[in-house]
Every structure is written in structure tokens, then in C-alpha cells.
């Protein structure tokens, strides 16, 4: 790996070159220069193109190129280490420890001893991972939170158990994957069918007698080559398990259902590592697709704000003609999912009241958000404006969650005895969705392909555009005008005016 470096212009006009590694923080670069010239590091900042850098950021995430030119400048306010850092450890099984408050000058060994004392031994081989920086047992006593860039705020450190000499493997956040070791067996060698008469026949021990089995008349197979090295026998892929039977337990109004996200998870078959390696034809195909996408974006006509808003309204009308109701799912921190059916004209506040009816503490303050990226929904926003139509997965976030709060069950305990499963929730969602232009309801038995994304695979479902129906004729409102043509409001087509009137009439409800 090539060495990287940055050049820092000091306050007295000298230039200092500092060698950096990807896990080095900007604060460590500043400390290196300050120790060289005996400066007070708490009184200076580092600038890049007249922009102050975040000193807690690692070099790999700072966006700085190699041989970047940095400049020291007087800080507007001297930095102090009075702020505390809230740290939480995440174990290999996905569980998390209680929160702990530490000073930036404290070492990672003190953090480990305070939050998980049973793992703070050399025999346990603990490894703390922050970002991509791995700190092993030998460095825990000398590595501080400040050296990792943690001078304030909150942070989650992953706690693993492995030796430094072991090969680095992917760390599993949710649950460790089962490791199936390859079984090495020698390849049996068949003796040749015939031996020339002029060569001596080697004497080998006779194999144990076997009972002859009748075999069909097939030509004899050629002798296999002699292989001295053992080969790994790959485990055959297991057939996919059938989908579990639907279990539906309606809790109340809006076809409310409650299930656990683990019921939507399926066992994945193990594949070889070569499956994820791209070949030359695949790389050429991806490059060609990327070129076509760039060309399509470059050749796209320039649209005014009015035309873009008109296309958005047309897409909205197309969705409204296909679906009359919205299926909303709210996932809680303990991975329980609450599903309900809402009308198109309702708002996020109706969803909030729906969720509040099933909480153990109805007066609890909370918010709903979508991810990624995290966008907190306002109760006054409509489902259409929030992108919750026709389906979405929201996340529940308590507003009064303190540093010492433990993630427990927020729902009423009686509801945990009336759980459905993900298959049943998909069946109910398919029944309430209108996927046909004529308004006929969708039957889950006749249309099994219509399903709602569930569990952790539903993060990208919110606000997704619905493909236009097949067989729809392209009218004047569906055509994109010429790039040199500017549509005048006085020359609007009758179909366009009729569509806009429908939109305004619907939004005024």
C-alpha cells in the first residue's frame, strides 16, 4: 500500500509534511504538527480550501486527497475536554450493553471493563471496532477515545473475539453466520483395467469383498487421474423451504395486524465465493449499461418546473387510479411490526393515533421516520406528501429515550399473545390493494405475486413509483414536448386541464 501524506502550513509560515494512514484522525495530524513546533493544539484548527475540518473525522472519511495542502488557523474558541462521550458496546450476537459515560482521555480498556467486564481478559481475545479501526487486546490499554476521534456525543463500538493472527473476516452485526467447514477427503484411485504383459504388476493389498450389485449396461468409465492433494467436498445446496402458512389475527380497526420481523426471514443457501466475482463479460455489460444511462440523462430534454410538477401529478393520478388505500407498517425497536390500512386522504397524524392505541403507555411521546436517509414525518403532512402511498415501512422512535434507557417492548403485553406472521400480513395487504385498473380487488390466491415487502427488505418501499399500466395509450398529456417548445398556460390541452382539475378537487378534500 502506497504511503499517504499531507502538507500543513503552520502559523509562522513553515510547511510540515505528515505521513498519514487511513485510520488516522485529523486531530492526530494537528497534534503531530503542534508537537513539532511546540504549539498549543487546543487553540488551532486545520483548514482545507478555507474550510475548517472536523477534527474527529478519520482521514479515510474526510474526503482529503493524497498530498493535500492544509493550513493551520487560530480557532474561534479553544477546545476543552469537559464534554463526556456516551459509549455502548454491540456484541457479536447483535445485543447491546448498557450505556456508559466516559471522558475522552480514558482508554478503551477502561471502557471494556466498565461495560463488559467478563470479556476484559486476555484469554477472551477481545477486539473493539470503531468505523474500520480494529483495536486488539494489546492496544486497548494505550488507545484512548480521543485517539479514535471521540471527543463528544455518542458512539457504538463493536466487540468481537478473535486473535490478531486469525484472518480478517466480515463482522456480523445482527447474528453470526453458521460456518460450515469443508471436509477434505482423498480422491479414490481406480486401478487400470489392463496392464501390459512386459511390465510387472505392482502388488497392492486386496480391498475388502463387496456384494456385487446389478448395474445397467453402460460403457466402462475411463480411469480417473491420480490426485495426491485432498479436495474440498462442497455441501450440496438445500432446496428452498416452502413459505409458511399464513396466520392472520386481526387486532382491531384498520385490519390491524402485529407480527415479528423474524417470521419474514428465510434461510439462505450457501454459495461459493466465485459467485460474487465479476467476469470480463459481466464487467463489459455493466459498463455498457452505465454508458447507456449516462447517454439517456444527457439526451433528456430540459423541463421547466411546471412540466415536472405536471408529470408528478400525472404519476400521482395514475397511482390513485390503481390503489385506493395505503398499507402502512410501523417497525418498533424490538422488531415487532404493526400493520394498518389507511385512506389516501388521511395524514401522518392518523397513523400516530393508530400506533398510540397499541402502546403500553399511550401518553408516550414518539416520532415516525423513514430510512434511508432518515426523514422524520410531521403529523400534519398527508400520506401523499410524505411518500407513504401506496405502501411504506416506518420506524418508531421514542422521543424521551435517555442515555440509560433500555430497548424493551413498547407494546401492550396482551398483544404479544395475538401475533400473526409475515405471510399473513402480506395476504391482508394484497387484499386491500387495488392493483387492477377496473377497481377489482386483488385476491391473494389468484395473484400470489402481489405481496408487500416485509422485515428488513422493506426499507426501500416508501414512495416508490408504480409502473404505468400496460396498454395505456399515449395522449397529449403523456408526451414530453420538444426541448425548444415552451408550453403556454393559455394553450393547455383539454385533457391536461381535466387532469389538473381532478388533482385540485382531490387535494381540497
Domains and CATH numbers, the chain: 4-74 (3.10.20.90), 85-161 (3.10.20.90), 250-254+319-400+409-435 (3.10.20.90)
Q: What residues contact 430, with CB distance under 8 A and at least 6 apart?
A: 442, 443, 444, 447, 450, 451, 452
Cis peptide before 329 (omega within 30 of 0): no
C-alpha dihedral sign at 346, 348, 353, 359 = positive
Whole-number Å distance between alpha carbons of 225 and 220: 15
Whole-number Å distance between alpha carbons of 203 and 278: 49
Q: Is residue 367 exposed (0-12), middle (13-18) or buried (19+ Cβ within 10 Å)?
A: middle
Whole-number Å distance between alpha carbons of 367 and 493: 44
> CB–CB of 392/368 below 8 Å?
no
User: Helix 305-322 and helix 494-507: axis angle, to 10°?
Assistant: 70
pLDDT tens digits in sequence order for the chain, 509 residues long: 567 899 999 988 889 999 998 888 888 898 899 988 888 888 888 999 888 888 888 888 888 998 899 999 988 877 776 678 899 899 888 888 888 899 888 898 888 888 888 888 888 888 888 877 888 888 888 888 888 878 778 888 988 887 776 655 554 444 555 555 555 555 555 554 444 444 444 454 555 555 445 444 444 554 454 444 444 444 454 555 677 788 999 998 999 999 999 888 766 667 788 888 888 999 999 999 999 999 998 988 888 888 888 888 888 777 777 777 889 999 999 999 999 999 888 999 999 999 999 999 999 999 999 988 899 999 999 888 888 888 899 999 998 755 444 456 889 999 999 999 999 999 998 888 754 434 444 343 333 333 333 444 443 333 333 333 333 333 433 334 443 334 444 444 455 566 666 666 665 55
Question: For residue 258, which of 409, 426, 415, 388 has the smallest C-alpha distance?
Answer: 415
DSSP 391-435: EEEEEEEETT--TT------B-GGGGGS-B-HHHHHHHHHHH---
* Tally of CB atoms within 10 A around 280: 7
Q: Left (φ > 0), alpha (ψ -120 to 50) or beta: where does 297 sit?
A: alpha
Q: What residues contact 55, with CB distance under 8 A and at least 6 apart?
A: 25, 26, 27, 30, 45, 46, 149, 151
Read off the DSSP letter of residue 491.
G
Whole-number Å distance between alpha carbons of 89 and 129: 10
Whole-number Å distance between alpha carbons of 200 and 500: 97
Whole-number Å distance between alpha carbons of 80 and 104: 10
Whole-number Å distance between alpha carbons of 55 and 71: 13
Question: For residue 20, which of 66, 61, 56, 53 has the smallest C-alpha distance?
Answer: 66
pTM here? Answer: 0.41
Whole-number Å distance between alpha carbons of 508 and 92: 52
Q: What residues contact 62, with CB distance under 8 A and at least 6 apart?
A: 26, 53, 54
Q: Distance of alpha carbon 163 from its chain centroid, rounded?
A: 28
Q: What residues contact 435, with CB distance under 8 A and at least 6 apart?
A: 322, 323, 442, 447, 450
Whole-number Å distance between alpha carbons of 423 and 246: 5
Residues 472, 478, 479: CA angle, nearest 5 degrees: 125
Amino acid at each position: 500500500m502506497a504511503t499517504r501524506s499531507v502538507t500543513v502550513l503552520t502559523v509562522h509560515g513553515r510547511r510540515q509534511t505528515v505521513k498519514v494512514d487511513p485510520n488516522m484522525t485529523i486531530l492526530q495530524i494537528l497534534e503531530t504538527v503542534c508537537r513539532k513546533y511546540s504549539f498549543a493544539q487546543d487553540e488551532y484548527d486545520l483548514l482545507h480550501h478555507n474550510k475548517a475540518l472536523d477534527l474527529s473525522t478519520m482521514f479515510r472519511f474526510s474526503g482529503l486527497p493524497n498530498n493535500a495542502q492544509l493550513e493551520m488557523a487560530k480557532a474561534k474558541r479553544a477546545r476543552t475536554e469537559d464534554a463526556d462521550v456516551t459509549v455502548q458496546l454491540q456484541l457479536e450476537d447483535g445485543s447491546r450493553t448498557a450505556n456508559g459515560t466516559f471522558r475522552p482521555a480514558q482508554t478503551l480498556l477502561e471502557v471494556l471493563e466498565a461495560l463488559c467486564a467478563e470479556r476484559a481478559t486476555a484469554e477472551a481475545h477481545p477486539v473493539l471496532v470503531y468505523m474500520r479501526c480494529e483495536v486488539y487486546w494489546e492496544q486497548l490499554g494505550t488507545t484512548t477515545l480521543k485517539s479514535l476521534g471521540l471527543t463528544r456525543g455518542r458512539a457504538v463500538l463493536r466487540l468481537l473475539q478473535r486473535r490478531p493472527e486469525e484472518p480478517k473476516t466480515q463482522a456480523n452485526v445482527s447474528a453470526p453466520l453458521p460456518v460450515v467447514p469443508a471436509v477434505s477427503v482423498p480422491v479414490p484411485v481406480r486401478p487400470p483395467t489392463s496392464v501390459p504383459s512386459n511390465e510387472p504388476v505392482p502388488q497392492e493389498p486386496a480391498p475388502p469383498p463387496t456384494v456385487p450389485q446389478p448395474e445397467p449396461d453402460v460403457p466402462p468409465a475411463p480411469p480417473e487421474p491420480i490426485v495426491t492433494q485432498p479436495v474440498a467436498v462442497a455441501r450440496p445446496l438445500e432446496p428452498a423451504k416452502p413459505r409458511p402458512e399464513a396466520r392472520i389475527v386481526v387486532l382491531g380497526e384498520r385490519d390491524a395486524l402485529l407480527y415479528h420481523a423474524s417470521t419474514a426471514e428465510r434461510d439462505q443457501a450457501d454459495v461459493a465465493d466465485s459467485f460474487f466475482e465479476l467476469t470480463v463479460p459481466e464487467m463489459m455489460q455493466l459498463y455498457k449499461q452505465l454508458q447507456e444511462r449516462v447517454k439517456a440523462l444527457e439526451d433528456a430534454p430540459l423541463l421547466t418546473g411546471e412540466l415536472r410538477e405536471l408529470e408528478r401529478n400525472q404519476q400521482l393520478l395514475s397511482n390513485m387510479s390503481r390503489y385506493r388505500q395505503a398499507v402502512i407498517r410501523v417497525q418498533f425497536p424490538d422488531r415487532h411490526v404493526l400493520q394498518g390500512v389507511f385512506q389516501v386522504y388521511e395524514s401522518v397524524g392518523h397513523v400516530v393515533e393508530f400506533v398510540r392505541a397499541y402502546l403500553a403507555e399511550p401518553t408516550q411521546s414518539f416520532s415516525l421516520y423513514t430510512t434511508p436517509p432518515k426523514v422524520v414525518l410531521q403529523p400534519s403532512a398527508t400520506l401523499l406528501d410524505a411518500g407513504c402511498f401506496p405502501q411504506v415501512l416506518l420506524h418508531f422512535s421514542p422521543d424521551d429515550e435517555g442515555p440509560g434507557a433500555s430497548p424493551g417492548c413498547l407494546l401492550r403485553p396482551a398483544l404479544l399473545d395475538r401475533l400473526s406472521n409475515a405471510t399473513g400480513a402480506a395476504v391482508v395487504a394484497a387484499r386491500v390493494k387495488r392493483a387492477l385498473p377496473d377497481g377489482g380487488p386483488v385476491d391473494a390466491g389468484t395473484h400470489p405475486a402481489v405481496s408487500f415487502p416485509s422485515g428488513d427488505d422493506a426499507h426501500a418501499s416508501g414512495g416508490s413509483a408504480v409502473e404505468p399500466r400496460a396498454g395505456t395509450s399515449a395522449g397529449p398529456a403523456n408526451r414530453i414536448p420538444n426541448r425548444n417548445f415552451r408550453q403556454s398556460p393559455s394553450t393547455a390541452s383539454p385533457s391536461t386541464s381535466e387532469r389538473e382539475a381532478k388533482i385540485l378537487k382531490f387535494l381540497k378534500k
